[in-house]
Chains A and B, each alone.
Chain A
């Protein structure tokens, strides 16, 4: 009796397996950040190639990494940020790209490829999707009311306790992310922003603790709505998120006018890279998807939608002037020189960063 049940189960599984194999040839499973692509791009890709896109989203690198490290995700294309990518390559999460299947790689921007060298030498495992900066998003009217000016060009606007105290009531938000905030605090203090020295981290902690009482919340996504509807007046956040807040405020026509500043002390730039997991079930289709994304007109459409700069040089001629000429999206040469990248933290330094952060955020 038991044996017969087992047989039946096995037969059923074999049936399911056959079904899956049958459906296997024309699918690509994409796992990308939420709200990060113009959905018409996906429809066009399917129309042209006949490959169905199963599109799934996440909202933090940590979630993506946890899934990838557990293995067997079934995803064919994922979009980690540079520092995460480097460690994931070391852990053996990705496969090398087959460049012969990616002719459109000729369109890519050498500036971005060079800056990615420390993270993915030779760009063997990934191509750039979007890149951006960490900066200050602010409500022009409310900041002017509190500080007497809306010309923001320095981190001191919220890292100097005297300023932070004045902005306390209209609301300050910071990303809840030590690897994003500590480097910019180091830059503000004039220290090496990529420092892993415990002494330097301690100085950053001290500076953060001085403004801690004036920060309303540490959160990595709430500030988009907060800025857009006027709940908060200033935030350290990712460039594209702040542009998104600016657009939402414009759409709502609620009188909120937002600005974005790349401070003169410099800031961190980051790169979201598309890569193919080692155990991806649809490698062929994944390459077809990457190659499609590297078409100038496709990635230009995406940039128009998300307001992030992309790593595709050829697409720049196709971008509308209000994006390509916006120095907060495509910084000029002088600003580019002030942007830095951060190397991946080893486990011990990561723990130091996280522990420092917990002390800053919770006071424990």
Chain B
């Protein structure tokens, strides 16, 4: 009886993530995809659905032949959307790389710190979350603007004479993203590095391996799962980032979040914005699935 109970319980536990995916990913995605196939209208809501949910499955099958993908075709006809996707992916990739470069030494230092200090260090990494994200981004405006803190400091110590123009450029966006997402990089890296068995390094050094080589041959490969997790946690939200480029970036910065906003709010074109969102999801999900598969295969071969 008890055994049966625990079996049921473990089934339930497995169901929860799937239910989560169904309700908070698949169903919303289906709604968005359905809008992307429709046409705009002056109505409430502002589109004409291609099929009603009341049609049921049979009705859906009957109408599939009539689906038109005009909104997706539209995206290919104007280079704006392609450029926005490319520019978003590029900005996100570069920011992720910088975050990794900064985050890795931090996580490494934390993992090497005395055991009694680690909870405090961990706390310090999480501490910024206690203030609103929006306020922290606004604070960067005060730091980066031409007469802001950074320029006052640099001019004060005589490093520069004219203020650096960082505000309203892509540099400000990189700084904003790196700053905001750094904890998401540090935490998985730290958990990967902290688990590591230090005797492996000792063994490598005993066998005559210099410290730096030992790092690259032992520590780094063992921390790869942390690097992958951290990079994904930073890269994925950064691609669709809207607030940071809007507040810190210049008018000329083209990102898909802003393009989506314009389609949705300025053009009131819910169908085209739904198509933009669908493509964005494909751009993000396809490489991730591909990567996961490759990694799983590599792990199996490793055994």
Are B43 and A91 closer than 8 Å at their CB atoms?
Answer: yes
Residue of B nearest to A229 (CB): B147
Question: Number of A residues whose C-beta is below 8 Å from B?
Answer: 32
17 extra A-B contacts, CB within 8 A, seeds A91-B43, A351-B269, A364-B80: A63-B265, A69-B268, A71-B44, A71-B45, A87-B42, A93-B44, A178-B266, A215-B251, A217-B250, A231-B145, A231-B147, A347-B40, A347-B42, A358-B80, A361-B251, A361-B252, A364-B79
CB of B211 within 8 A of chain A?
Answer: no
Q: How far is the CA of A39 from the CA of B146 in the complex (A)?
A: 36
Within 8 A of B (CB), among A131-180: 176, 178
Whether the Cβ atoms of B44 and A65 lie closer than 8 Å is no
A354 within 8 A of B: yes
A62 surroundings in chain B (CB, below 8 A): 265-266
A-side contacts of B266, CB under 8 Å: 62, 178, 350, 354
In the bound complex, residues from chain A placing their C-beta under 8 Å from that of B79 are 364
What is the CA–CA distance of A91 and B78 in the complex, to the nearest angstrom? 29
Q: Is the CB of B42 within 8 A of A91?
A: yes
The B-contacting residues of A in range 90-122, CB under 8 angstroms, are: 90-93
Main secondary structure of the interface of A (DSSP, over half): helix
Most buried by A among B45, B83, B145, B264: B45
A60, A63, A362: which contacts B251 (Cβ < 8 A)?
A: A362
- Residue B151 at the chain A interface, CB threshold 8 Å: no
Q: Answer whether A354 and B262 are a contact pair too, CB < 8 Å, given A176-B251, A231-B145, A347-B269.
A: yes
Determine if A66 and B40 form an interchain contact, defined as CB atoms under 8 angstroms apart: no
Query: Closest chain A residue to B47 by CB distance?
Result: A69
| B interface list, Cβ under 8 A from A | 40, 42-46, 78-80, 83-84, 145-147, 168, 250-254, 262, 264-269
Is the Cβ of A90 less than 8 Å from the Cβ of B42? yes
Q: Determine whether the beta carbon of B40 is less than 8 Å from that of A216.
A: no
User: Out of A65, A93, A215, A216, which one reaches B265, CB within 8 Å?
Assistant: A65
Distance of B227 from chain A, by nearest CB (Å): 33
Contacts A/B (CB < 8 Å), 8 sampled: A66-B268, A70-B45, A71-B45, A92-B43, A92-B44, A215-B251, A217-B251, A358-B80
B268–A347 CB distance below 8 A: yes
In the bound complex, what is the Cα–Cα distance between A103 and B55 (angstroms)? 49
With A and B bound together, what is the CA distance between A69 and B270 in angstroms? Answer: 11
Shortest A170–chain B CB gap in Å is 11
- A217 and B254 CA atoms in complex are apart in Å by 14
Please indicate the chain A residues that have their CB under 8 angstroms from the CB of B268 in the complex: 65-66, 69, 347, 350
Mask of A217-244 contacts with B, CB within 8 angstroms, 1/0: 1110000000000010000000000000
Q: What is the CA–CA distance of A219 and B80 in the complex, to the nearest angstrom?
A: 20
Give the chain A neighbours of B265 by CB distance below 8 A: 60, 62-63, 65-66
**Which residues of chain B come closer than 8 Å to A351, judged between CB atoms?**
267, 269
Q: Mark A285-320, 1 if CB is under 8 A from B, else 0.
A: 000000000000000000000000000000000000
A171-192 with Cβ < 8 A to chain B: 176, 178
A residues in contact with B267, CB < 8 Å: 347, 350-351, 354
Bound Cα distance A215, B250 (Å): 11
Beta-carbon contact of A66 and B264 below 8 Å: yes
Q: Which of chain B's residues has its CB closest to A350's CB?
A: B267
A209: min CB distance to chain B, Å = 13
Query: Which residue of B is nearest A215, CB measured?
Result: B251
5 smallest beta-carbon distances between A and B, as pairs: A62-B265, A218-B251, A361-B251, A362-B254, A69-B46
A60 to B254, CA, bound (A): 21
Q: Chain B: which residue is nearest A64 at the CB level? A: B265
Q: Check A363 for interface membership: any CB of B closer than 8 A.
A: yes
Selected contact of B44 from candidates A63, A69, A217, A231, CB within 8 Å: A69
Instruction: Say whether A68 faces chain B, with CB atoms less than 8 Å apart.
Output: yes
Of chain A, the residue at the smallest CB distance from B255 is A362
Cβ of B250: which chain A residues have Cβ within 8 Å of it? 217
